Amino acid sequence: MWGGFRCDVPRSRGCFCVSSRAQQIPAHRGRGPMKPIRLILVIAFSCPAFSAVAQDLLKSQPPVWAGQPDITAFEKLENKHLAQAQSSIDAIIAIKGLRTIANTLAAYDEAVRHINSAAYLAGLMEQVHSDSTLRDHAMAMLSKASAAQSSLSLHPRPGKYSHAAMFQVLDGVRGKQLPEAALICNFPAPAATEPGLNDYDDVETFFHEFGHLMNWILGGQQRWAAISGLSPEMDFVEAPSQMLEDLLRSPNVLATFARHYKTGEPTPAELVKRMNRASTFLRVGKTAQQNGFAAISFDMYKSNPDKLDPDAICDEDFHRYLFLRMSPGTEHFYASFGHLAEYSSAYYTYMWDKVIVEDFFSKFNPDDPFAGDAPVRYRRLVLEPGASMPASELVKNFLGRPQNMTAFKQWMNAEFETTSAGD
């Protein structure tokens, strides 16, 4: 789900009065190294109290850079800020009793301060540093800081939204505001006698929603909020999410995190191979089912509301695509089809984007999706542009051609392919 839509599967605020905080402004003089210049509002020195605070800050807060910034020092400083932010977040999560200003709000403000500090400096270095390598590292750090501002709510509780979704929190605007989003899921929670393990479907759901999150975060660096984040065409938004689902086919990807909770053993490659093989079973039938759902959503919204018979539409569309009829007692399927209210007539988005996803994934190494230049090209050409260009251009830029059905047909036919062993 994205933006409050279901799928199957705060930033600090303040008011400006007078600031005595020392800020770092880079300046070049001649051909020498970049040196920091300290700017303090002159009005601050008109008041003795402000003057004293400012003088103390000048002594206790040294310039961020005393010379030309280098990659090692830059990343050390950035990681220090993010580690301190995580420490504050961990402290908030660990609270068992009454939440107070001291144990919650103050810790939250510290987390925001350190995340913002990391993001501000990374954004500056990405824009102004003369070394392209450091600018690339700064871009990576900016993404890391942005990720730190993504919220997670992964376990069920009374009154909580019961499905899985990515909700936007803040639009990203380059140079003004970092994008924020929240992942809302309902995975098994650990208990005294249960470790709270996720099954494969849970992991696939998480990857799906995380795909939406990456689309929102990485695409959230546009000049204007209106073109930041997700694609402007609704029927492309499920492509980045389904794209991440395909990563789970790779034993190399699963081995990085999917381990036995007692022994630490990674998921065996042979087991992953068998799982992939099993996942092809009835793939054609499941695709036909998705077509049936898409037909229902379309037919519901194209019909005259005064003459609409939801049960008849469901029965006819299921029969058309699945050769089934609704059995007595199974009527009113539409009442639990949440997408009818959220995606209206556009449920076809899932299958439309599945065709694009398989075309995308054909450019990756299926055994090691992180190998080669495909991952970086996908990020730069599909995710980072956000809504700044039509989806058809994003697709064509990555593939080098318009999309086609070839890869999707191969995916569909996998159920009927034999393995090397002939089974």
Whole-number Å distance between alpha carbons of 360 and 357: 5
Number of CB atoms found within 10 A of residue 141's CB = 24
Q: According to the model, what pLDDT value does residue 215 have?
A: 93
**In degrees rounded to 5, what are phi and psi of residue 256?**
-75, -20
Give the pLDDT band of residue 28 (cuts 50, 70, 90): very low
Contacts for 144 with CB less than 8 Å, ≥ 6 apart = 78, 82, 118, 122
Angle at 119 between CA 395 and CA 221, to 5 degrees: 25
Collect all residues with Cβ–Cβ distance below 8 Å to 320 and sequence separation of at least 6. 292, 295
**What end-to-end distance do the CA atoms of the chain give, in Å?**
37
Residue 30 pLDDT? 38
The separation between CA 98 and the C-alpha centre of its own chain, rounded to angstroms, equals 32
CA 177 to each of CA 142, 193, 324: distance values in angstroms, whole numbers, following the listed order? 12, 43, 51
Q: What is the model's pLDDT at position 167?
A: 86
Q: Would you kindly state where each structural domain of the chain is located, as residue ranges? A: 269-416
SS3 content of the chain, % helix, strand, coil (to 5): 55, 5, 40
CA distance 333 to 318: 11
Tens-digit pLDDT profile for residues 51-104: 555 456 456 555 555 556 688 888 998 899 899 998 988 898 888 888 888 888
Percent of the chain scored above 90 by pLDDT?
Answer: 34
Phi, psi angles (nearest 5°) of residue 184: -115, 110
Rounded to the nearest integer, the mean pLDDT of the chain is: 80
Share of the chain above pLDDT 70, in %: 80
In the beta sheet, which residues pair with residue 418?
none
Encoded amino acid at 405, one letter: M
Look at the alpha carbons of 371, 376, 377, 383 in this order and tell me if their dihedral is positive or negative.
positive
Contact predicate 190/196, CB 8 Å: yes
Instruction: Tell me if 71 sits within 8 A of 137, measured CB to CB.
Output: yes
d(CA 225, CA 228): 5
CA 81, 85, 90 angle in degrees (round to 5)? Answer: 145
Q: Rounded CA gap, 207 and 226, in Å?
A: 26
Q: What is residue 378's predicted lDDT score, i.e. its pLDDT?
A: 96
What sign results for the dihedral spanned by CA atoms 59, 64, 65, 70?
A: positive
pLDDT at 50 over 50: no
Q: Which of 129-133, 180-184, 283-287, 327-331 has the highest mean pLDDT?
A: 283-287
Spot the catalytic one: 78, 126, 209, 245: 209
Quote the CA–CA distance of 141 and 59 in Å, as a whole number. Answer: 28
C-alpha distances out from residue 317 to 40, 71, 263, 313, Å: 69, 59, 49, 6
Kindly give the residue spans of alpha helices, DSSP state H, lying in 323-390: 339-342, 349-361, 374-378
* pLDDT-based confidence at residue 362 (cuts at 50, 70, 90): very high
> In this structure, what token pair is assigned to residue 282?
């009835």
Q: Is the pLDDT higher at 231 or at 297?
A: 297
CATH 1.10.1660.10 fits 269-416, yes or no: no
pLDDT in tens, 276-297: 999 999 899 999 999 999 999 9
Cα–Cα distance between 1 and 325 in angstroms, integer?
29
Report DSSP letters for 76-103, one per residue. HHHHHHHHHHHHHHHHHHT--S---III
Please give the model's pTM, rounded to 2 decimal places. Answer: 0.65
Tokens representing residue 240 in the block: 């980045």
Separation between Cα atoms, residue 13 and residue 225, nearest integer Å: 18
Question: Rounded to whole angstroms, how far apart are CA atoms 393 and 399?
Answer: 10
CA-to-CA distance for 371 and 253, rounded, in angstroms? 11
Can you tell me the distance from the alpha carbon of 12 to that of 134, in angstroms, rounded to the nearest whole number? 28
Is 342 considered catalytic here? no
For the four alpha carbons of 378, 214, 295 and 306, in that order, the dihedral sign comes to: negative
